[in-house]
Amino acid sequence: MPLFALVVIVSGCSIGDVRRTPPAPTSSAPTPASTDPSGPPPSPAPVAETRRTRLAVPERYDPPFVEFVDAEQGYALFGACDGRPPGPDCRALLWSTRDGGRTWQRLRHPKPVADNQQMYAAPGVLALWAEPHGWWTSTDNGKTFRHTPGEKSPPQWQAAQGRFQLIVDSGKVGRWDGRKLRPLPAQPPVPVLNTVAEGDGRIVTQDGTEYGGPLVVAGAGEDGRLHTAISIDEGRSWQKTPVPAPEGEVGVLRVQAVGELWLIGERPDRTSFPALWRLEGRDWKLVSAEGHPPRGWAVPLGGGIAAVVSPRGAGAVAEGRYVDLPWPLTGDHLLRLLPDGTLFAGAQEEILLGVGTFADLTWTAVILETD
């Protein structure tokens, strides 16, 4: 049976700290501002709007951890004072926005005093970790919470991570059945796994059976070898897929689905410019990035394009070359792609939301101030 018989229906932190398939670019490649990494970076374009809000939070609180799940819904957790965990005189404070950071509302934190406070958000679920007391999860935008004792991730959060996930304890690939993450009967024939991802769309095999998108696992061994395998029948069987050798070493190999499937080879120092591959048909193809800066972090956007954040600022890899972009990002921003296609970039003092198509992206700054 061929690997792909037919594919149909292809889809779709702290302030300082963007995750669904982005809209397809309206142009094949960005217009380069500069491709000489030794030259000066381009002047970034200003943001279209700044949404600044002063919250009723005492000045002694450290900057918040902020998460957005789409262009409108976001949360902010103030979880420390003067670099120390909250205590009776410094209780954790929780806020939310439903209009992209224009306004913020105070939420009741279910366990404001703990040794360590963490917050995680995904579409439809907000999860709070209050060490050592366990987890509190909400599926109604923070109005009510359910307590889950212990360190194990609560089922509401586990369900939000997708049908197929890596099982941390065993390193195996598991499928979420609604109550538990169960190991697949057939495990991929690779010695090391870093990530697993399910591609978009549906697959119809030659015998007429229909499955979800391709399931891909990837990992980098200590010997420097790269390993991937693909399943077109939701993990019932696997086929190893060779990865063309890149220049330089790879410490961690990640797979990411953005309408198309990419591999990201993180360097051992985690800062040097990564190796990139795209799945074309049955094969992984190295993605050239001529003129790229020595350091940088890549975020695949789909349509054959990956955004880049480096000490030079923002850029992109497209059609085999790196180009600078006039986005208002610096090397201090951490860039992520939100499920609705919004780009979310965070630095110490602000977060930036990028909305629109790649060729016509509008950036908005969201800034939270305290009393």
pLDDT in tens, 262-304: 999 999 999 999 999 999 988 999 999 999 999 999 999 999 9
Peptide bond into 2 cis (omega under 30): no
- Of 344, 305, 338, 253, residue with least CA distance to 29: 305
Task: Please give the residue that has the higher pLDDT: either 281 or 143.
Answer: 143
Separation CA 62–CA 16 (nearest Å):
12
Question: What's residue 45's pLDDT?
Answer: 79
Question: What's residue 88's pLDDT?
Answer: 81
Task: Please give the residue that has the higher pLDDT: either 333 or 224.
Answer: 333
* Virtual torsion, Cα 35, 37, 39, 40, nearest 10 deg: 90
- Of 289, 294, 291, 285, residue with least CA distance to 262: 285
Give percent of the chain with pLDDT exceeding 70. Answer: 89
| Residue 170 token pair | 């065993």
Query: Is the four-CA dihedral 142, 147, 151, 155 of positive or negative sign?
Result: negative
Q: What is the mean pLDDT of residues 78-103?
A: 91
Whole-structure pTM value = 0.86
The order of strands in the sheet holding 74-78 is: 65-68, 74-78, 93-97, 105-107
Contact indicator for 271, 278 with CB cutoff of 8 Å: no
| Residue 255 token pair | 């797979």
| Residue 262 token pair | 């990419």
- Judge whether residue 21 has pLDDT over 60: no
pLDDT in tens, 216-225: 999 999 888 9
- Of 286, 299, 291, residue with least CA distance to 344: 299
Q: How confident is the model at residue 38 (pLDDT cuts 50, 70, 90)?
A: low
Contact indicator for 347, 365 with CB cutoff of 8 Å: no
- Judge whether residue 110 has pLDDT over 90: yes
**Which residue blocks in 268-341 are alpha helix, DSSP H?**
none
- Mean pLDDT taken over the chain: 87
pLDDT in tens, 149-208: 999 999 999 999 999 999 988 999 999 998 899 999 999 999 999 999 998 877 777 777
Question: What's residue 84's pLDDT?
Answer: 82
